[in-house]
Amino acid sequence: MMKVLKFGGTSLANAQRFESVLEICMNEKPTFIVVSAVAGVTNKLVEIVELLKADNQKEVRYLVDEITDIFIDIISESFLDFDFVEKSQLVLARYIIELKKCIKSKIIIENQILSCGELITSELLNLYFRYKNYSVELVAAEKIILLNKLGEPDEKLISSQIEKIIKGKSESIFLTQGFLCSDYLGNICTLGRGGSDLTASLIGSAINASEIQIWTDISGLQNNDPRYVNETFPIPELSYNEAAELAYFGAKILHPVCVLPAKNEDIPVRLKNTLKPFEKGTLINSNTKQKGIKSIAAKDGITIIKIKSARMLMSHGFLKRIFEIFDQFSTSVDVITTSEVAVSLTIDNLKNIDLIIDQLNTLGETEIIRNQIIICIVGEGLVTDSKSIRKILEAISDIPVQMVSLGGSKINVTVVVDSIYKNIILNELHERLMRISYVA
Ligand code: ADP
Ligand code: ASP
Ligand code: MG
């Protein structure tokens, strides 16, 4: 029974939470513990990088002090003896000196700066555990989470690295940093915001864990976005496909692609609340039986591109030529709708948008619509359930909808609207789909 437990930033936000994490670990008996940076730290590190790009050193110094204070508070509130406080402060000072060196460097070493949060958090938790007589082995994530030339996790290499580390240590408990990894040249880099979930899933899949547990500040994946909708509640069970769609389309509780490694090895993923460990949370696995609408999510930062064919009817090869352009600029497309003469599609990566539009203009007339969101309604069997489809269409009938996609997958319906309608549409869909279906 090998479990991987991942604790997010809010689960480690203060000394009391360090104690809760220790208690959860003692109960669950994990093989691997993955930790994110203490809440708020990565946001500040990202801000530092942005300020450095804008050459604003003064603000950077304030942010470094704020980060230092977050950790100092945890150390001093831990009520452990002087030796712990002294050792922790030394660890912290060592990393803050490194951070300051990175900041002074002539080139901006973004990944080194971003990595500080997880590195300090894991070292402090390691010390905390030691002073509480809970013995763990600290493993550098850079040594185990390795990317290939395409910048994707190299699952084979990850497995062999982890195997080397855990071989012959069946009784040991390992602690590592989420989010951090090494690129194929061995340079430190990161898995993108929220990437610690992916770290846990990659480790779980590598050791063929019995369960991956994601511990956060809410009791499981809710049936709508709790930041916009009141009275949401956790979904007891989800299939891998449902969870993957929801994570990809905006359910922030999970990193967009973290379900995949677990799904490939059929490892259950449990979402739990560090503040209320007795609550059941959500179980993601392959045995879910419950059909019907499960949850609604929203993905921000979407741009629609509309292309109208220069010819009267879409000629043979039109779609192929369009997608070759997106492929050439490594830009993935999320939602597509087509008519006889036009194609609408959405992207969220605007890095090469000007070059893409230049090329698309050679195929037809283009239009760009910015500040859109994708709303995604998810549930096994949803697409063939005409009652639910009718309710979705009713819910959006008063909102100017740019695109609707149904049938691309059996389990989701996506709607693209201007971001100003986010609150209205999430609440309207909740009212019609969630309240009624659960009251019945
Ligand atoms: P962590 O720091 O533990 O990784 P995150 O902030 O990444 O935590 O994820 C948890 C947050 O995700 C919740 O506090 C909640 O506000 C947000 N969230 C958005 N959509 C959902 C959803 N459908 N279910 C649960 N939480 C969601
Ligand atoms: N600390 C990183 C972030 O805030 C990774 C994570 O929390 O999963 O994005
Ligand atoms: Mg997260």
Please write the tens of the pLDDT for every residue from 244-303. Answer: 999 999 999 999 999 999 999 999 999 999 999 999 999 999 998 888 899 999 999 999
Q: How far is the CA of 240 from the centre of ligand 1 (A)?
A: 18
Neighbours of ion ligand 3 (CB under 5 A): 8, 194
Give the per-residue pLDDT at 324: 96
Of 153, 294, 217, 235, which is closest to residue 14 (Cα–Cα)? 217
Q: Is 256 in the pocket of ligand 2 (CB under 6 A)?
A: no
Q: Is 9 in the pocket of ligand 2 (CB under 6 A)?
A: yes
Q: Is 242 in the pocket of ligand 1 (CB under 6 A)?
A: no
- Are 133 and 173 spatial neighbours (Cβ–Cβ below 8 Å)? no
Q: How far is the CA of 114 from the centre of ligand 3 (A)?
A: 15
CA dihedral 284, 285, 286, 290 (to 10 degrees): -50
Q: Which helix (H) or strand (E) holds 338?
A: strand 333-338
The segments of the chain whose pLDDT lies below 70 read 312-315, 436-440
Longest dimension (CA), the chain: 79
Give the per-residue pLDDT at 439: 42
Give the pair of three-digit tokens for residue 8: 């997010």
Atom of ligand 1 nearest to the CA of 227: 16
Per DSSP bridges, beta strands 295-309 and 282-285 are unpaired
The counts of H helices and E strands in the chain are 15, 16
Q: How far is the CA of 181 from the centre of ligand 2 (A)?
A: 13
Distance, in Å, from the CA atom of 315 to the CA atom of 308, rounded to the nearest integer, reads 12
- Are 188 and 112 spatial neighbours (Cβ–Cβ below 8 Å)? yes
- 406 φψ region: left (φ > 0), alpha (ψ -120 to 50), beta (else): beta
- Are 218 and 275 spatial neighbours (Cβ–Cβ below 8 Å)? no
Q: Is 36 in the pocket of ligand 2 (CB under 6 A)?
A: yes
Distance, in Å, from the CA atom of 340 to the CA atom of 18, rounded to the nearest integer, reads 59
Q: Is 117 in the pocket of ligand 2 (CB under 6 A)?
A: yes
Q: Is 193 in the pocket of ligand 1 (CB under 6 A)?
A: no
Atom of ligand 1 nearest to the CA of 196: 4
Give the per-residue pLDDT at 438: 46
Give the per-residue pLDDT at 313: 55
Per DSSP bridges, beta strands 282-285 and 333-338 are unpaired
pTM for the model stands at: 0.95
Q: Is 190 in the pocket of ligand 1 (CB under 6 A)?
A: no
Per DSSP bridges, beta strands 282-285 and 269-273 are antiparallel
Residue where the block lists tokens 């408990």? 173
What is the per-residue burial (b if ≥16 Cβ within 10 Å, else e) of 142-161?
bebbbbeeeeebbbebbbeb
